[in-house]
Structure 1
Amino acid sequence: MKLDRLKLSIEEVPFKKSLSFVPLIKKLKEQKKINGSLDIQGESILKLVEEKPELASADFDVNDVDRFKDEIHILMGYFFTPVQYREEIGVVATPFDDQNFYFTPKYLELYGNENLIVEMVEQKEQDKCFKTFSMLFYAYSMILKRYYNFELGIGYLFMYKVTDKLNELVKYYKLEFEKSCIDITYSGKLPKLSEEQLHKMINNPLDMDFWLETLPLDKFKFSGFLPFRYVDVSQIEVISSLKSQLLEKSSIIKRNNFNQLEQNIRSLLELPNLKLGIIAFGMNEGNVENPSDFWHGFLSVDRFSCEDYRGTIYEEAGIQGMPVLINDLSKRENPNKLELALLDEGIRNIAIVPLYNENELVGVMELGSNKAYDITFSNLRVIKDIIPVFSIAIQRTSEELQNRIEAIIKEECTAIHPSVEWRFARAASNLLLKKESGEPSQMEEIVFPNVYPLYGAIDVRHSSVIRNQTIQDDLLEQLDLVRNVVLSVNEVKAMPIYDQLIYKIDYFKDGIKKGVSSGDEMNVLNFIRHDIEPLFPHFEENGPLVKTAIQNYKKNIDPDLNLVYKRRKDFEDSLGIINDCVTTYLEKEEEKAQTMFPHYFEKYRTDGVEHNIYIGESIANNLNFDRIYLKNLRLWQLIVSAELARKAEVLKRSLPIPMDTTGLILVHSQPLAIRFRQDEKKFDVDGAYNIRYEIVKKRIDKAKIKGTNERLTQPGMLAIIFSQEKEIAEYQRYLEYLISAGYFEDQIEYHTLEDLQGVYGLRAIRVKVKGGKEKDVLKLAEDLKIEN
């Protein structure tokens, strides 16, 4: 029940109460009268009462408890046998009061241990009157049964949580009481309660003010005593708590939630040293797959791949479908590297529990301890009821993660471009309908026929040459630095071996100066790392000059890569800045272009940025396509390419390594079809004839002007390649307009290209990009009037 809506205006019980042993005495006398005799305990109690008639007082003074301590111990023996007295947590109190007058030793241990925190579970801070409310509820249950023959099933209301401050283990106890030794009397005429009133009370269990008004308690008196027992329900409560936690979202993923799960498992198994691990695993043809950083395993996925788990206790548990328990990893013969890593993490005792959901392996649970034989199969039996809940939680979390990952991929990688989402949704809907009807089903092919392609690229000029030069520069610097180290130590203490090392360094330098070929970089780095760097501790013993040379070497080495990474970093940074600028601008303008007419767009980064565009009626859902949209997009592409060339030129001045860029556009007037390739999760041209378009795209970047050795693509210029004469005329009109608008210099070059492998008869136009202020691309495109 939700106790935050509890209604109670009083803080103390409103009825009279007194301590009395008379109810017990009467009970024993009635039993003797019925049975003719009592057991030894009962007879000794009655004999004691004859000897000590004060014990039979209707109102026993609680202040006399100490005086009759031994006698009361005999009386309470009726409820606590010697074994129960030693083993149970028990207390006896005056009726519905806090006056406890008899305690078992374990009760005193519980409340006398300063390392234990004992607290009521139910709303201890939220509702201060909960204890009074509970006592009234118990009192009413006894009154209704005794006077109105109405059984009020209430279970238990008092629950205590005991936390050990030393190890944070938690135990739970419910409070059970024996109410047979309570007498209830009523002074005056007993109120009558109709069935309707009784039901109204039961239907408002939290409105105790209403109960007190309906059946006042001021004329009732409770005399006797209440024996209480603290019953350990830790296993039930912890398992219930674990199930509730596991049903919450992110119960396994978030570290704080996971730590609470681990602590609850420790309390459940009473193992303060226990460690919990969860890994999402799958089995593929009998092999383990899918470890992920999203899960909290004992071992980091940075150090171990899926392959490392094969042939281990993890795979054994998954294949057998049963827990695998290793009592002491340190005693394993020929331990594999995974087991050695576990020992390094302080795990000696480990259990691997496979997690299955609908007969499919979804993960494993790791239970570990730094003490051998800490975890037993008895422990595993204790947690068997929560294993299915862990399985459900890991499956649900895996699916949630998958959805989130797919959303990120969709947003960042545009694997499914927004312009074609509608087609994928339709295909998925069709598949679902077939499955629901029981038909054989698979994802239908997704093809867009009769679409027009546009291809463009912004490339960094001589990027491979620059990259090789930066590698060469960094290697030479590293060799010079390490040469200085060897020279310095050789000056202090000359040895032939140092001369040999200097010779080897110079040999590598001479080779690198001539050019870096495949394998040169690795040979140099292996030599430095294996033949020289291990000697540094020995070198440092030769004085401060050598130490300074070594420190200078280390200062110039990238700490993560362990090599000189200066010019290469400048190159990568410069390339990254150019590509980021191109990508950002292209994405922004492409978003605007989609408002003209929907089209498929994709980009990919190399040593530059390339883009593919496909436009046609089959892509534009429920929209009529006209060639005016193709012409508009072609003009848009020219404008964007000019703007990108301008931006790259301006950007060049601030780059760590100045780089030139070239612009290229391929024109293809014949419509083609594109098909979504399920295996590659991307679109590709469809059909043997259309493959020629892809071949041309891959080879034109190095095309040369016929009869010369000059590359068509040049810095600061835009090259447009055609395969048909009529295409040139169309683009000539666009360029004439853009020249007048200030995008290009007033000179159009016309070229025939050298034949490429399998590609013949290509023509090209080349124009020089003119510097100037940036224009609003979309407004310019809309202002232009193009005739069909």
Structure 2
Amino acid sequence: MKLNQLKLNIEKIPFKKSLSFVPLINRLKGEREQGGIKGAQAANMLEIVEKCPALSNASFNVKDVKKYEEEIHLLMSNFFTPSQYETSMGVAATPFDDENFYFTPAYSAIIKDDTKELELVEQQNQINCYKTFTMLVYAYWLIFKKLYGFEMTMDYLFLNRLTDKLNGLVRYYKLEFDQTCVDISYAGKLPDITHDQIYQMINDPLNMDFWLETLPLDNFTFSGFLTFRYVDITQVEVISSLKSQLLEKSAIINRGNFKSLEESIRSLLGLPNLNLGIIALSVNNEEVENRSGFWHGFLNSDQYKCKDYKDTIYEEAARSGTPVLINDLSDKKSLAPIEKALLNKGIKNISIIPLHIDDQLVGIMELGSTKAYDINFTKLRIIKDIIPVFSIALQRTSEELTNRIEAIIKEECTAIHPSVEWRFQKAAAQLLIKRDAGIAAHMEEIVFSGVYPLYGAIDVRHSSVIRNKTIQDDLIEQLELAAKVLKEAVKVNEMPIYDQLIYKLNFFINSIKEGLSSGDEVNVLNFIRHDIESLFSHFIGNNEGLQKAIKEYNSNIDSELNIVYKRRKDFEDSLGMINDCVTSYLEKEEEKAQLMFPHYFEKYRTDGVEYNAYVGGSITENRTFDRIYLKNLRLWQLIISVELARKTEQLKSSLPISLDTASLILVHSQSLAIRFRQDEKKFDVDGAYNIRYEIVKKRIDKAKIKETNERLTQPGKLAIIFSQESDRNEYNRYIEYLIAKDYFESEIEHLVLEDLQGVYGLQAIRVQIKNGKESQDALSIAKEINKLGMPDSVN
């Protein structure tokens, strides 16, 4: 019920009321006449009443209650048994009056205790209105029942909250009232009102003004008294409240909402020392998601990973699918580090409750107390019905949180490689926490330090020369086709301007045959469009030979580019087929290589394909790095370089233009750091020293062997560039192994390279790739080596 919709213009109850014991006395007289034990008890009470005539007055003065305290107490035993009087909270009052004239010791003790607060659950500014509304509803309910014979089902309207200010525990009570000792009278003739009218009133409960107009209460008098008993409904109310709280957005991750959940659980179980924890699980990533600021587990996942929970009470609960209860953690033998940490936080009594959705473990609920034996199986039974609601709330919140984090990553970082996605999620989560707290923040810088780079390239040999040659051929063909049109035009109408244009076309043809200079292509195409093609409309309608030449010209022009685009298209198609072949194979093999050890990988197209890989401990969240993984990836890189060279060689025969490829690997022996640059949305090496690595990468593709004019990279060969003697020794061992596996010919070239601009002292190993059928795939070889633990022949 929304009280802000309540229509109520009165401030005071519009009927008369008085305290009277007459209705009870009349009831006792009837019971005395019936005889039996109940009749005898009624007779004894009536004897006492007869000795106190004031009790039989139609209107009893409330001020005299103290004077007749013992007699009234005896009369009230009809409503509160001795047991109820001692243990329950109960009161008696004039009908619809705030002043209680009788109350049990339990109620009196609470009212006098400054550490306890008993109040209506309604908002303070609505209490008076709600009280008046409730009293009117009860009054009409009695009138309908006693004077009009209409039964209306009534549930409790008043809900009271009792708060213990010392420990924060809350209990909820509904009021059960006894109205048997209330008489109702009407001054004058009782108004006629039908059941249909009563139904109309009931169907419009918030419009109390309508009720008062339909059946005014001014001439009604209520005499007697009402008794009320406070019935504890904490369990029902708190469970209902918990379900509502858990349906709210961010109910579990918002710290304020979570504290409210914890307080509700404490009140429900009556345990002031209770602590609540929630952990979301992501078992597939071998991760316990318990980031501070979101999930509120007892322990922080920054210190404890998924593996730390093995052989603990957490794993026991997860495997069994049922709650695990430890009465006193300090008595448990062989405590795991996780369990010791709980004890150090003061948690002695703990229950670990698995949370499931469709039999899938999604999280863990922790109930812990600083007091041993505080939580027992009866307490767990109380919360049994709300465990599924916690599971649903956890799953929904996890999905919402994931969506928000992914949105931040897309906003701040675009697409992210899966191997480092965890780090971006962590940074995005921290940014989300700050933004939710109203802090103007930017995403933290993401740096992976101590990583080892692997760089490789498969380049199309002489691609620039071939591209220029195709441009020359296309331009010359277009110029010759244009000249042919003009020569036909001269036959029709010999004009000096045509001769001059033909001369210019021949000049361009001879110039391009000698070589294509910067700007030549633009100049030629501008001349053709403005000076040649503009004449074609002038030639329309002339002789057949001229029209045929124009048609031939147009048929050789690309409709979209408006140029002759034949050899260039063949070249671009050939280059695209090579790149597609390379990237497809790289993607497939790199996905498998992630199984060896997670690493960052990126590739990009040039006239060929280049790729970078970075491997190291900082790239992964839950795995320990060892140089064996670097060696394994280096060997894997050699293998895929050979396979790529073989695939592109096999592809040559089906290309529009036969293109050769050359393979290159750069070895960098020292670890470095990579930083994600927000402005460019990509990773770059970090630090002045590490920049040298990037400079080397950009310049080695044109490297030549010292004291020769020979390019290092050659079709059918793999070149490995390095600067340290240790790198030479390592790669010699790999190559010896791969020669034995039929990847390379037996000859190994050891070369010194000419100095490049700003780059000195580079050396290289070059080996001839062995043709033939494809060998065992890269992952199989790498797994084989991994099982052997890098034998001496390779290590």
- Name the TM tier (shorter chain): 0.5 to 0.7
1:487-528 C-alpha deviation (Å, 9 max, x unpaired)? xxxxxxxxxxxxxxxxxxxxxxxxxxxxxxxxxxxxxxxxxx
**Residue-by-residue CA offset, 1:415-448 (whole Å, 9 max, x unaligned):** 389xxxxxxxxxxxxxxxxxxxxxxxxxxxxxxx
Give the 3-state SS of the residue equivalent to 1:14 in structure 2: coil
Q: 1:755 aligns with which of 713, 738, 744?
A: 713
Would the aligned equivalents of 1:291 and 1:301 in 2 still touch at CA under 8 Å? yes
Aligned residue in 1 for 2:210: 210
Residue of structure 2 in register with 1:60 after alignment: 60
Structure 1 letter corresponding to 2:712: E
Q: How many residues align structurally?
A: 497
Provide the residue aligned with 2:617 in structure 1. none
* TM value normalised by structure 2: 0.56
CA distance in 2, matches of 1:406, 1:252: 19
For residues 186 and 46 of structure 2, the distance between their equivalents in structure 1, rounded to whole angstroms, comes to: 28
Runs (5+) with no aligned partner, structure 1 = 418-575, 581-604, 613-626, 628-634, 636-665, 703-711, 724-750, 769-788
Distance 1:691 1:340, change over 3 A: farther
TM-superposed deviation, 1:405: 3.4
Q: What residue number does 1:669 align with?
A: 575
Alpha-carbon distance between aligned partners in 1 of 2:263 and 2:718, rounded to the nearest angstrom: 73
In structure 2, the residue matched to 1:479 is none
Instruction: Say whether 1:178 aligns with 2:170.
Output: no
Alignment of 1:22-61 (within 5 A): 22-34=22-34, 38-61=38-61
CA distance in 2, matches of 1:391, 1:63: 57
CA distance in structure 1 between the partners assigned to 2:348 and 2:74 by the alignment? 51
Match of 1:368, as an amino acid?
G
Report the secondary structure of 1:371's partner residue. Answer: coil
Structure 1 residue 36: Cα displacement = 6.2
CA distance in 2 between partners of 1:323 and 1:199 (Å)? 51
Deviations 1:327-356 (A, max 9, x none): 111112221211111111111111111111
Which of 288, 291, 301 pairs up with 2:289? 291
1:241 aligns with 2:241: yes
Partner Cα separation in structure 2 for residue 266 and residue 208 of structure 1 = 39
Partner of 1:83: 83
Distance in 1 (CA, whole Å) between partners of 2:98 and 2:229 is 15
Q: What TM-score, normalized by structure 1, do the two folds share?
A: 0.57
Give the C-alpha shift of residue 406 in structure 1.
Answer: 3.4
Question: How big is the shift at 1:78?
Answer: 0.5
1:280 counterpart residue number: 280
Further displaced range: 103-112 or 20-29: 20-29
> For 1:367-386, what aligned pairs fall within 5 Å after superposition?
367-386=367-386
- The equivalent residue for 1:14 is 14
1:198 counterpart = 2:156? no
The equivalent of 2:151 in structure 1 is 151
**Separation (CA, whole Å) in 1 of partners of 2:454 and 2:413:** 17
Report the CA distance between 1:31 and its aligned residue. Answer: 3.3
Distance in 2, Cα, partners of 1:221 & 1:609: 97
The CA distance in 1 between the partners of 2:28 and 2:710, in whole Å, is: 120
Q: Percent identity?
A: 52
Q: Is the CA contact (8 Å cut-off) linking 2:32 and 2:40 kept in structure 1?
A: no
User: Partner residue of 1:319?
Assistant: 319
Rg larger for: 2
Query: Does 2:99 correspond to 1:99?
Result: yes
1:131 offset after TM fit, Å? 0.7
SS at structure 1 position matched to 2:180: coil
Shift of 1:670: 3.6
- Residues 532-611 of structure 1: pairs in structure 2 closer than 5 A: none
Cα deviation code 1:382-438 (max 9, x no counterpart): 111111111111111222223233334444554389xxxxxxxxxxxxxxxxxxxxx
* 1:717/1:767 contact within 8 Å kept: no
Aligned alpha-carbon RMSD (Å):
4.2
Q: Gaps spanning 5+ residues in structure 2: where? A: 418-443, 459-473, 475-517, 519-571, 595-599, 604-608, 610-639, 650-659, 669-691, 704-708, 721-754, 758-795
What SS is found at the alignment partner of 2:221? strand
Q: Secondary structure at the match of 1:322?
A: coil
Q: For 2:58, what is the secondary structure of its paired residue? A: coil
Distance 1:611 1:162 in 2: 75
Instruction: Give how far 1:310 is off.
Output: 0.6
CA 1:315/1:717 → structure 2, altered by over 3 Å: closer, same or farther? closer
> Are 2:666 and 2:697, in contact at CA under 8 Å, matched by a contact in 1?
no
Question: Per the alignment, in what secondary structure is the counterpart of residue 150 of structure 1?
Answer: coil
Q: CA deviation at 1:37?
A: 6.2
1:357 is matched with 357
Residue pair 2:663, 2:713 contacting (<8 A) in 1 also: no
The farther-off stretch of 177-186 and 126-135 is: 126-135
The Cα shift of 1:667 comes to 13
Query: Structure 1 residues 37-46 or 241-250, which shifts more?
Result: 37-46
How far apart in 1 are the matches of 2:457 and 2:72? 93
What is the CA–CA distance in structure 2 between the aligned matches of 1:62 and 1:714, rounded to whole Å?
96
Tell me, in whole angstroms, the C-alpha distance in 1 between the residues paired with 2:756 and 2:574: 19
Amino acid aligned to 1:699? I
Contact 1:699/1:756 (<8 A) preserved:
no
Q: Is the 1:276–1:366 Cα contact (8 Å) retained in structure 2?
A: yes
SS of the residue corresponding to residue 129 of structure 1 reads: helix
Indicate conservation of the 8 Å contact 2:29/2:43, yes or no.
Answer: no
Structure 1 position 320, deviation (Å)? 1.0
Deviations 1:706-744 (A, max 9, x none): xxxxxx999799869699xxxxxxxxxxxxxxxxxxxxx
* CA displacement at 1:689 relative to structure 2: 6.4
Residue 141 to residue 232, structure 1, CA distance change in 2 (3 Å):
same
Secondary structure of the 1:362 match is strand
Q: Deviations over 1:648-704 (max 9, x none)?
A: xxxxxxxxxxxxxxxxxx9993434355767769887899569769996863799xx
1:305-704 correspondence to structure 2 within 5 Å: 305-415=305-415, 669-671=575-577, 672-673=579-580, 674-675=583-584, 699=665
- In the alignment, is the contact (CA less than 8 A) between 1:415 and 1:682 conserved in 2? no
Q: Which moved more, 1:689-698 or 1:253-262?
A: 689-698
Taking a change above 3 Å as real, the CA distance of residues 695 and 208 of structure 1, as seen in their structure-2 partners, is: farther
SS in 1 for 2:665: helix
Q: State the Cα distance separating 1:758 from its structure 2 match.
A: 5.2
Within 5 Å, give how 1:106-117 maps onto structure 2: 106-117=106-117
Question: Is the alpha carbon distance of 1:144 and 1:689 closer, same or farther for their aligned partners in structure 2, counting shifts above 3 Å?
Answer: farther
